Structure 1
Amino acid sequence: MKKRRLKWTSLISVGILLSTIFIGMSGISLANEFPLTITDDLNREVTITKQPERIISLSPANTEILFALGLGEKVVGITNVCNYPAQAQEKEEIGDYDNPNLEKIIELEPDLILASHGNPIELINQLEELSYAIMYLNPKDIDHIISSITTVGKITGNDKEAAKLTKEMEERIEAVLAETSSLVENNRPRVLYVVWYKPLWTAGSGTFIDELIQKAGGINIAGDIAGWPQMNLETV
């Protein structure tokens, strides 16, 4: 399962880096009134009855978002691949990314759980049946990451900080595009993003990494292949 972990860790970590690295905002906005009902990326309606105080993150992406919004103190549990920022490693581990421990989750008494692609759908359904507020976020491109940050801000009562973070992300993306959009093809570097090397596994078209490479002015050499293909050295 190591390959899968690396794939999703690297995918979203790059996204958070676009927000001028890690900004760790402080101060919690109480603009939203609870209860809130939000539709998640599984098209489920999730009701948050009160402002969350005990949050479990089941993916590195969500962990980074929570800490970037200044919510680190409210995080009570993470998976064993949630290693950024460094403060996250001080939190209680509730198991593997693709096999979280249900009993440990229950022991931590969360009032909000953030899940993502790669977490077992059976576990998500089980937690929902146990009446836990579990929000599934599966951003597939930059715009979707921005909307996911906005969602996390909303359901945690931290929408003002989320707005600041997404604004900085958008401004940085615009600044990059201003430098790269006029590059002619011959001046665009050819890029191979190595997700894993045994076997050689990369990011093709339709992926978040492919979008990042293009916006940064590069040419993804795996861009003619969809998804997350394996490549041999001869092809590279």
Structure 2
Amino acid sequence: MRLAVFCLLLIPAFLTAAQPVKTIISLSPHTTEMAYAAGLGDKLIAASDYSDYPEAARSLERVANYRGIKMERIVTLQPDLILAWKGGNPTREMTRLEQLGFKVFYSDPKSLEDIASTLEQLGQYADSPKQAQLNANDFRQRLNTLRLAYQKKNTVSYFYQLSNNPMITIAGDNWPSQVFAVCGGSNIFANSAAAYPQISTEQVIVRQPEVIFGTSHAAADPSVWDNWRQQLPAVEKQHIFTVTSDWLNRPTPRTIMAAEEICQYLDQVRQSRL
């Protein structure tokens, strides 16, 4: 009797489990990277512009960019699965693809843990879920190590310069705030009404961040802040750091490297307080 009940409980899992697919199109750089990490790289036949990691992704046909997606080409290619960024790819065109019968997997990480769970979900479409599971486990272990190391450390106020001209930053729980938070970073614009507010130098100075972060794509140029050296702790103490843009801004397994890098920088700031 118990065996029969156990078997019945297993049925839904088998019925809902995804089946391996033969061809995949990715419509954002981060879903392309996630596909490779989940063991789906050999199934990718096309991707979006800026899908540049790993190296193999550079040779894929391009069917999407910041202006939209190449609907006719995607229909011609007839992929078994389309990977899309929810909120990043145009809703109207994605809805049309679904209406045409295409299966769409939406990636929309809201937390660091979502990266690992998304890998596992994508792994269901691979011939074997082993690679996805290994990468998900590795991500969780490294994230847990950081959480344990930084959960009791003092917070450090920071400003993240997402772009230079105009100067834009992040607010609330919008990505990649989560990466800074795991290291004990406190965003000086966390309470801004807009998700990605456009701000001024004066607004940064008023909030007195201890550290300023930029990326390799939008560097936090020290010369911009030189005139405010006596008024801004981050500039006076040379706490202006550049982190790797793709690690930080794309929610992929490489995000953990951004977190590890940022944690080290925030520790430098903590040491300067002594």
Q: What one-letter code is carried by the residue in structure 2 that aligns with 1:65?
A: M
Does the 8 A contact of 2:27 with 2:48 survive in 1? yes
**How big is the shift at 1:37?**
4.5
Q: Structure 1, residues 102-133: CA drift from partner, whole Å, max 9, x if none? A: 11112222111111121111111111121111
Q: What one-letter code is carried by the residue in structure 1 that aligns with 2:130?
A: K
1:118 aligns with 2:85: no
Q: Structure 1, residues 10-66: CA drift from partner, whole Å, max 9, x if none? A: xxxxxxxxxxxxxxxxxxxxxxxx99657xxxxxxxxx6x52111100111210111
Unaligned runs of 5+ in 2: 1-12, 205-274
Q: What one-letter code is carried by the residue in structure 2 that aligns with 1:156?
A: A
**How big is the shift at 1:232?**
0.7
Percent identity reads 29
Tell me the TM-score normalised to structure 2 length. 0.63
- Judged with a 3 Å threshold, the aligned counterparts in structure 2 of structure 1 residues 232 and 158 are, in CA distance, closer, same or farther, namely farther
Which structure has more relative contact order (CA 8 Å, sep 6+)? It is: 1
Unaligned runs of 5+ in 1: 1-33, 39-47
- Judged with a 3 Å threshold, the aligned counterparts in structure 2 of structure 1 residues 182 and 220 are, in CA distance, closer, same or farther, namely same
Specify the alignment match of 2:110 in structure 1: 140
Specify the alignment match of 1:19 in structure 2: none
**How big is the shift at 1:224?**
2.5
Q: Structure 1, residues 147-173: CA drift from partner, whole Å, max 9, x if none? A: 222211123344222221111111111
CA distance in 2, matches of 1:123, 1:158: 31
Structure 2 counterpart of 1:100, from 45, 69, 89 = 69
Q: What one-letter code is carried by the residue in structure 2 that aligns with 1:60?
A: P
Higher helix proportion: 2
CA distance in 1, matches of 2:36, 2:15: 22
Q: What one-letter code is carried by the residue in structure 1 that aligns with 2:44?
A: V
1:69 aligns with 2:38: yes
Specify the alignment match of 1:232 in structure 2: 200
Structure with max Cα Rg:
2
Specify the alignment match of 1:176 in structure 2: 146
Tell me the TM-score normalised to structure 1 length. 0.73
1:60 aligns with 2:21: no
> In structure 1, the residue corresponding to 2:83 is in which secondary structure?
strand
- Judged with a 3 Å threshold, the aligned counterparts in structure 2 of structure 1 residues 221 and 92 are, in CA distance, closer, same or farther, namely same
Q: What one-letter code is carried by the residue in structure 1 that aligns with 2:91?
A: I
CA distance in 1, matches of 2:129, 2:66: 27
CA distance in 1, matches of 2:14, 2:103: 11
CA distance in 2, matches of 1:183, 1:171: 20
Q: What one-letter code is carried by the residue in structure 1 that aligns with 2:159?
A: L
Number of positions where the alignment pairs a residue of Structure 1 with one of Structure 2: 190
Does the 8 A contact of 1:113 with 1:134 survive in 2? yes
**How big is the shift at 1:202?**
1.1
Q: Structure 1, residues 176-199: CA drift from partner, whole Å, max 9, x if none? A: 1222222123xx3x3222221111
> In structure 2, the residue corresponding to 1:115 is in which secondary structure?
strand
1:129 aligns with 2:93: no
Structure 1 counterpart of 2:60, from 82, 87, 91 = 91
Does the 8 A contact of 2:32 with 2:57 survive in 1? yes
- Judged with a 3 Å threshold, the aligned counterparts in structure 2 of structure 1 residues 145 and 97 are, in CA distance, closer, same or farther, namely farther
Q: What one-letter code is carried by the residue in structure 2 that aligns with 1:211?
A: Q
Specify the alignment match of 1:165 in structure 2: 135
